[in-house]
Amino acid sequence: MSGKILVIEGKRAERSSFVGGLTKKGFRVISVPSGNAALNKLEKEQPEIIVIDADSMRTSGKRICQSLRSAAQRTPIILILGNGVNEKDEFDADVIMHLPFTLQKLLNRIKVLLPIKLSNDVMKVGPIDLDLVHRFVKVNEKQISLTPRLTRLLQALMQNPGQVFGRDELFKFVWETDYIGDTRTLDVHVSWLRNLIEEDPRHPDFIKTVRGVGYRLDFD
């Protein structure tokens, strides 16, 4: 594995740090002790994943999540909470994990959220491989040809798995224009893409609708 991860971890953790384990797995890890320190690192480091170990800082992590989400809207955030912490509040995190859990479980979640480029022309996220040049997608050993616009649609979603894309934003990327037409056209393309890659398009596993906003690529 490879990739850059920003880890926010306090010094009061009564357990082993995840930083060493992630480093041994080949990630470049930038470790900071607070949310403010993380904000100072964001622009320079541009991490691909942010991990907030709220349990080690004796905080819910809510304010840190909000600050980082505002500053890095497209960067996936994993929030680590202590065992028994009640999630009464809404968090701006893509994944919430409750201790205790193993390093491998954390790696599994990172692997899903982190886009992996196999080459300059091929992307892999979870069980989905997308060939950008030859315009085909491979899902669970099934290979499917795509139109140019369906390729760009899937590319946009795969670049930031777990992130919600507004319809206008996706329309601009797929049609390569600043003009926003009828976004129902986008909805039709999403439906076509689901029919191609989902086992049950009416109950999709990958391309999820966020009501009133748009779509995101997700893996349960």
Residue 130 above 90 pLDDT? Answer: yes
> pLDDT tens digit string along 148-199?
899 999 999 998 888 899 999 999 888 888 777 678 899 999 999 999 999 9
> pLDDT tens digit string along 4-17?
899 999 876 567 78
> pLDDT tens digit string along 116-126?
555 568 888 88
Q: What is the mean pLDDT of residues 33-58?
A: 89
Which residue ranges make up each domain of the chain? 4-113, 116-217
Closest C-alpha among 48, 49, 3 to residue 27: 3
Domain range 116-217, CATH class: mainly alpha
* CATH number for the segment(s) 4-113: 3.40.50.2300
Residues of the chain with pLDDT > 90, as a percent, come to 38
Residues of the chain with pLDDT > 70, as a percent, come to 91
What was the pLDDT predicted at 138? 92
Closest C-alpha among 108, 96, 23 to residue 65: 96
How far is Cα 79 from Cα 60, in angstroms, rounded to an integer? Answer: 9
Q: What is the mean pLDDT of residues 76-99?
A: 79
H or E stretch covering 186? helix 184-197
Residue 220 above 90 pLDDT? Answer: no
Phi/psi at 195 (5° precision): -60, -25
pTM summary value: 0.57
CB 76 within 8 A of CB 162: yes
The sign of the dihedral angle between the CA atoms of 206, 77, 169, 117 is negative
Q: How confident is the model at residue 141 (pLDDT cuts 50, 70, 90)?
A: confident
Joined together, the tokens standing for residue 121 give 């022309």
The sign of the dihedral angle between the CA atoms of 177, 183, 185, 188 is positive
Better pLDDT: 121 or 131: 131
